[in-house]
Structure 1
Amino acid sequence: MNAVPRSWLYVPGHRDDRVAKALTAGADAVVVDLEDAVPAAQKDRARELTTALLDEHRPGGPQLWVRINPPGTEAGERDLAALAGRRADGVRVPRAEDPDAVRAVGDRLGLPMQLLLESARGLWRAHELAAAHGLVAGIGLGEADLAADLLVDRDEGLHWARGAVVVAARAAGLPSPVQSVWTDVGDLDGLRASSRTGRVTGFFGRSVVHPRQLGPVHEVYTPSPEERAAAERVVATAAAAAQRGESAVLDADGRFVDPAVVARARTVLDRAAPSDQPAPAPSSGETR
């Protein structure tokens, strides 16, 4: 499995059958959803099943995250009470707008947090939110809600917002944001093309809502053997130059290698899988 997750598979927390399938679907991370995917009448069941899962979960397999309900809501407060003291790889915090609320979640749970910016207010305060707590592990967009709040087209109207969240994340020293979901589950070509655009514009990894989306996402967000080999050559060239007391040098192909180029090469290697794993086979099983 990659050290940096390429895929984040959402699964509704009230469906224990789908959660079990999601954990073996081949995702790098599974996000048990207590929020949008769970009907109001099923919130308590989702919470109970999720806490039981966390109590039983052992290391190995995909990372296990939980998307809570918005802090400050009754459901959100119940989520925090249930998760306090339990182990998870982290929580996703929806509708993040208030740095004080983020700090309260971090202090209460002591878990890494990914913040979802889903409103104009949240996007406007992205820089504050990214730096609100030492446990903020990432920020990203909830594009459907954000587009509705901004009164824009979800694709064309959010180009600038995507750039803004990339800048805010990197300025705060956070990882590249995780790309938002592609909702047309049947359009894998569209998912693949959109993911390529996301990768070249500063995102890494993608949230998905169905196992059949994992293959295209892993394909796009796994550095190719050629990319890895090129990165290894850059690092080796830089190491040899450093031994000669040089910080910038031309490589064997006449390309300029300086510290910025080396840093980019190391990022490629960090994101590469330690061993090649086959992409998950298309699945007809539902997870959401």
Structure 2
Amino acid sequence: MTRLPTYRSLLFVPGTREDRFDKAARAGADAIIIDLEDAVQPSRKAAARETALVWLANNSKGVDVGLRINSPRTPEGNADLAALAASGLRPAFIMVPKSQTDIDLEIVSEATGCERILAIIECGRGLHHAHEIASRSPCGILFGGVDFSASLGADLDDWDALLHARSVISAACGTAAIPAYDAPMLDVSNNAQLIETSSQSRRLGYSGRACIHPDQVEPVNEVYVPTAEELANAKGILSALEAADGGVVLFNGKMIDRPVILAAQRLIDRARP
């Protein structure tokens, strides 16, 4: 399978707000997500679906555009799949909310013919099946922290309260060699907390984060892009590997084994020009 991109920022835009689609595409996010699920009232689902597909068919903004459908376990989700399949359109990825098992993703892939799936884990059952979900979600997994915390009665803003869930998702994504994306922050005015928690999730192995407002995009991009020092170190490791020509690899006096080499390559792959 072709290597799929890793994003730093994914910006949600409501499927009912066609007037914001172009603005979102120009906001500097690595990808935008037209949302047909949480951001759309039940009475407006059909209209949002039609609007999103028309815009996708004519999109030439040069930014990756994903589509968050409704859960395939719901009638609205089935309607989304039928409309997407009939349109013949292929978004950059299909985001599948409330993924509980890998069967959810299999249904979406088979119904649409699209394998570019990005799952959202936002309940205990989904977390229990995180590794199976990761195996069928080549575009990555988004931690649905808002719904997950609500299902537990946990504090969304307490990092420690959701650390276990974030860690499980990070481990599952690492095993499957796919990116993990952190939940959006609801307080769009608190950039200091956005940067702090994004830095924490990056240290945990997350590659990027969802955003719900254009003002969040730039701080998120800055956190998740590798620094010049990190890139230089990673490139030095790969250069040492090449120079060793099959022998023991040493870099800065340390012996470098395969996991370190793979981590260096992943970091370089994440770098943006």
Structure 1 alignment gaps of length 5 or more: 275-288
CA contact (8 A) 2:28 2:218 kept: no
Structure 2 alignment gaps of length 5 or more: none
Residue 55 of structure 1 aligns with an amino acid whose one-letter code is: A
Please give the residue correspondences for 1:42-61 in structure 2 after superposition, counting only pairs within 5 Å: 42-58=44-60, 61=62
Cα RMSD for the two superposed structures: 1.7
- Residue 101 of structure 1, CA deviation: 2.8
Please give the residue correspondences for 1:167-206 in structure 2 after superposition, counting only pairs within 5 Å: 167-171=171-175, 173-206=176-209
Moved over 4 A (4+): none
Say which structure, 1 or 2, has more relative contact order (CA 8 Å, 6+ apart): 1
In structure 1, what is the equivalent of residue 10 of structure 2? 8
Question: In structure 1, which of residues 70, 88, 92 is the aligned counterpart of residue 91 of structure 2?
Answer: 88
Residue 113 of structure 2 aligns with an amino acid whose one-letter code is: G
Is residue 267 of structure 1 aligned with residue 270 of structure 2?
A: no
- Residue 38 of structure 1, CA deviation: 1.0
Is residue 118 of structure 1 aligned with residue 117 of structure 2?
A: no
- Residue 121 of structure 1, CA deviation: 1.3
CA contact (8 A) 1:70 1:95 kept: yes
Distance in 2 of aligned mates of 1:268 and 1:146: 29
Residue 56 of structure 2 aligns with an amino acid whose one-letter code is: L
Is residue 161 of structure 1 aligned with residue 160 of structure 2?
A: no
Residue 82 of structure 2 aligns with an amino acid whose one-letter code is: A
Residue 17 of structure 1 aligns with an amino acid whose one-letter code is: D
- Residue 3 of structure 1, CA deviation: 4.5
- Residue 222 of structure 1, CA deviation: 0.7
In structure 1, what is the equivalent of residue 29 of structure 2? 27
Describe the shift of the 1:188–1:162 C-alpha distance in structure 2 as closer, same or farther (beyond 3 A).
Answer: same
Distance in 1 of aligned mates of 2:165 and 2:32: 26
Distance in 1 of aligned mates of 2:262 and 2:177: 15
In structure 1, what is the equivalent of residue 143 of structure 2? 141
Residue 192 of structure 1 aligns with an amino acid whose one-letter code is: I
TM-score by length of 1: 0.87
Is residue 207 of structure 1 aligned with residue 207 of structure 2?
A: no
Distance in 2 of aligned mates of 1:107 and 1:255: 47
SS of match in other structure, 1:137: coil
- Aligned pair count? 265
TM-score by length of 2: 0.92
